[in-house]
Amino acid sequence: MFKFWGSQEQQAQPGQQEGSSHSWYPPSVGGSPNSSRPTTPSSTASNGFNLQRPGERPYSPSPAEAAGIIVLLKNKSVDELRKLLSDKDAYNQFLLSVDEVKIQNNIRDELRKETLQLARNNLDKEPQIMELRNQCRIIRTTELAAALEKLNELERQKEETLKFYSPVSFLRRLQDAMKETEEESEILNRQLLDREIDLGPFLQKYKMLRTNYHRRALIHLAAKTSPVG
């Protein structure tokens, strides 16, 4: 990720090169024996040191972040820089001392604590959830069943009421009442002819029957000829 300018290194002896070859980085990280400048571990991400998950985009630090890390590294000696390359513990200690890494670790720790707290809260609420689930099951099998049965009965009554007071049903009942009144008038007329009833009572009953008949007939005619809206 970084290369360091302004620091010069003397030509290393062959024995020193052999001693520094025991690095925890891949061979390309330590550089060739003729290299006078060490390279950082991030420069070998393509050589197997990349810890990113499949499908993730490689992390690219911003110029400000890169400048901040360069400031931390530029004052270190060549021996210190070589130690960062060859000593994993030293590199990790330096990495954890970077402010950006500290911030990310703090955020990670806070998120972990919040996640654990949410998990504990969910576990604490599990008995309450089970109790509510049991109550719902009881309501569904008892109270809900009774309420549905009552609802169905009310729906049936509603349908019957609408059917009873529908225009078609009204006309049919009115026509039946007219037919019944006509039959009663015929019966009353036969009673008069058979002298089963006197003229005075006959006139009163017959007049009332015919009045009802003609009133219903007029209503029936008006209902049939009027638009239903």
Interval 144-194: pLDDT, tens: 888 888 999 999 999 999 888 888 888 888 899 999 999 999 999 899 888
Is the confidence at residue 69, as pLDDT, over 90?
no
215 contact partners, CB below 8 Å, separation of at least 6 = none
**Predicted TM-score (pTM) of this structure:** 0.34
The pLDDT assigned to 111 comes to 94
Query: Is the Cβ–Cβ distance between 53 and 93 less than 8 Å?
Result: no
The pLDDT assigned to 104 comes to 87
Please compute Rg for the chain using Cα positions: 51
Structure tokens at 129: 């959830």
The pLDDT assigned to 57 comes to 59
In the chain, pLDDT over 70 holds for what percent of residues? Answer: 70
In the chain, pLDDT over 90 holds for what percent of residues? Answer: 25
Is the confidence at residue 93, as pLDDT, over 90?
no
Residue 86's CB is within 10 A of a number of other CB atoms, namely 19
Following DSSP, what letter does each residue of 6-65 receive, concatenated? S---PPPPHHHHHHHT--SS-HHHH--TT-SS---GGGGGGGTT--PPTTPPPP---HHH
Q: What is the mean pLDDT of the chain?
A: 75
Mean pLDDT of 88-97: 86
Answer with the residue of higher pLDDT: 1 or 124: 124
The pLDDT assigned to 13 comes to 42
Is the confidence at residue 110, as pLDDT, over 90?
yes
Provide the pLDDT confidence category of residue 228 given band limits of 50, 70 and 90: low
The pLDDT assigned to 60 comes to 65
For residue range 3-45, list pLDDT tens digits in order: 444 444 444 444 444 444 444 444 444 444 444 444 444 444 3
Is the confidence at residue 96, as pLDDT, over 80?
yes
